[in-house]
Amino acid sequence: MEIKGFQFSAVEAAIKKPGRLDLALIFSETPAAVAAVYTTNKVKAAPVLIDQERTQSGVCQAIVVNSGNANACTGPRGMDDALETTRLVAEGLGIPDETVLVSSTGVIGVPLPMERLRAGIRPLVDGLSGGTLEDVSRAIMTTDTFPKLETRCGMAGGKEYTIAGIAKGAGMIMPNMATMLAFIVTDAAVEPEWLRTAFAVGIERSFNAITVDGDTSTNDSAILLANGAAGNTPLNGAADGAADFVRLLDEVLLSLAKLIVRDGEGATKFVEVTVRGARSDADAKRAAMAVANSCLVKTAFFGQDANWGRIFAAVGYSGADVEQERAELFFDDVPMVKNGVFAGGDAEARGSEVLRKKDFSVVIDLHLGGGTATVYTSDLSYDYVKINADYRT
């Protein structure tokens, strides 16, 4: 798969255990319009601080990313290390330093092994001729069990373009950029201002609508580069093909977000939680997120227990407006609760059957208004505990 005007590379720099790609590069042959969303965590890793400043210009040309070390809580040294990394990449590529972004993911609080990282930059730049985006998607994995890559093709002004994205999860997944990296590249030409809006809206419905454990991280970044190599007239809200571009971008983002949930640490279930009939969309999202984040709800999912009471309790403490005697709850299309009480009949048996599936949905109708939201979550299993209890050892 080719995305015009982009080159990719990934190498083993021995930041992770030997034998695994851990340093990668995305390079646009020409300066590209950039849109980005970063963690809302007040403790931000050095690379996030650098990228936040650099993306303000609206133009970037390269992203260098390592896994195995988050370069977070590393103080002034961490900042120096991140800046040196971008400088070495800029020199290798012959582009201005300020157009190089940097991302890191992995253990917090340990300085980057700069000697090994430095040694990796030259082969990384040299490898651009032969690498693929799929290589990059592998290089950014931490506890991910599979690489995450999505592509869509579209037409704008008679020109064919591609949108391709990669992402990594898998723990610390929560709205507002949890430990999550996502890089999306497109050869479509897009007006920078409009690109930022389209990206922000898409993120809200995708990466900000998933949760694995309610923890947000210090490093999350979602970055989109659009280099215009497809040759179309730059897209904006009024342009032919704009709606299509937004739809395809949303598809890429949502597909990647869902893959992250599927690959949630220890996940055995993929659950879509929809709240409708809320007083507002914000209320709906609050309620849906409370359900999706509840340890008690998620362990019940793991136990395949149709314990709708815990779901109700989570809605109740979410802060959303609730009148319990109006609320309805469904597992897939099985009504479990009507007017706030158990639906009776064979609901228990049928509900339990739904919970035995690997993928199912929980729908809560509050019957109070028109607010609605859908979020995606996993269950909480023994393996979540195992993975996170042993992470650094």
Q: Which of 85, 151, 162, 179 is catalytic?
A: 179
Q: Pick the closer one to a copy of itself by CB: 83 or 119.
A: 83
Q: In whole angstroms, how close is the CB of 362 to a copy of itself at the nearest point?
A: 15
Q: Are 294 and 308 in contact (CB under 8 A)?
A: no
Q: Pick the closer one to a copy of itself by CB: 39 or 232.
A: 39
Strand, helix or coil for residue 177:
coil
Distance (Å, rounded) from C-alpha 55 to C-alpha 74? 22
Contacts of 68 (CB under 8 A, 6+ apart): 15, 16, 22, 105, 106, 107, 142
Measured over the CA atoms of residue 306, residue 307, residue 309 and residue 310, the dihedral's sign is negative
Q: In whole angstroms, how close is the CB of 295 to a copy of itself at the nearest point?
A: 4
342 bridge partner residues: 337
Q: Are 55 and 34 in contact (CB under 8 A)?
A: yes
Distance (Å, rounded) from C-alpha 390 to C-alpha 393? 5
Q: Pick the closer one to a copy of itself by CB: 108 or 259.
A: 108
Task: Please indicate whether residue 268 is annotated as part of the active site.
Answer: no
Q: In whole angstroms, how close is the CB of 71 to a copy of itself at the nearest point?
A: 11
Strand, helix or coil for residue 181:
strand
Which residue do the tokens 């709205």 mark?
175
Distance (Å, rounded) from C-alpha 222 to C-alpha 183? 6
Distance (Å, rounded) from C-alpha 320 to C-alpha 303? 27
**What distance lies between CA 48 and its chain's CA centroid?**
15
Q: In whole angstroms, how close is the CB of 156 to a copy of itself at the nearest point?
A: 38
Distance (Å, rounded) from C-alpha 175 to C-alpha 60? 25
Distance (Å, rounded) from C-alpha 344 to C-alpha 269? 25
Binding residues for substrate: 142, 168, 179, 265, 388, 393
Q: In whole angstroms, how close is the CB of 302 to a copy of itself at the nearest point?
A: 5
**What distance lies between CA 284 and its chain's CA centroid?**
21
Q: Which residues bind a copy of itself (CB under 8 A)?
A: 40-44, 70, 72-75, 77-78, 107-110, 171-172, 174, 176, 213-218, 293-296, 299-300, 302-303, 305, 307-310, 312-317, 320-322, 324-325, 337, 339-342, 380-382, 384-386, 388-393
Distance (Å, rounded) from C-alpha 33 to C-alpha 198? 13
Q: Pick the closer one to a copy of itself by CB: 109 or 158.
A: 109
Report the greatest alpha carbon distance in the chain.
71
Q: Pick the closer one to a copy of itself by CB: 250 or 265.
A: 265
Q: In whole angstroms, how close is the CB of 140 to a copy of itself at the nearest point?
A: 19
Binding residues: 142, 168, 179, 265, 388, 393
What tokens does 339 get? 């007017």
Q: Are 224 and 34 in contact (CB under 8 A)?
A: yes
Strand, helix or coil for residue 210:
strand
Q: Pick the closer one to a copy of itself by CB: 234 or 340.
A: 340
Task: State the burial class of residue 12 (Cβ atoms within 10 Å of its Cβ: 0-12, 13-18, 19+).
Answer: middle
Q: Pick the closer one to a copy of itself by CB: 191 or 265.
A: 265
Q: In whole angstroms, how close is the CB of 262 to a copy of itself at the nearest point?
A: 18
Distance (Å, rounded) from C-alpha 190 to C-alpha 236? 6
Cite the active site residues. 179
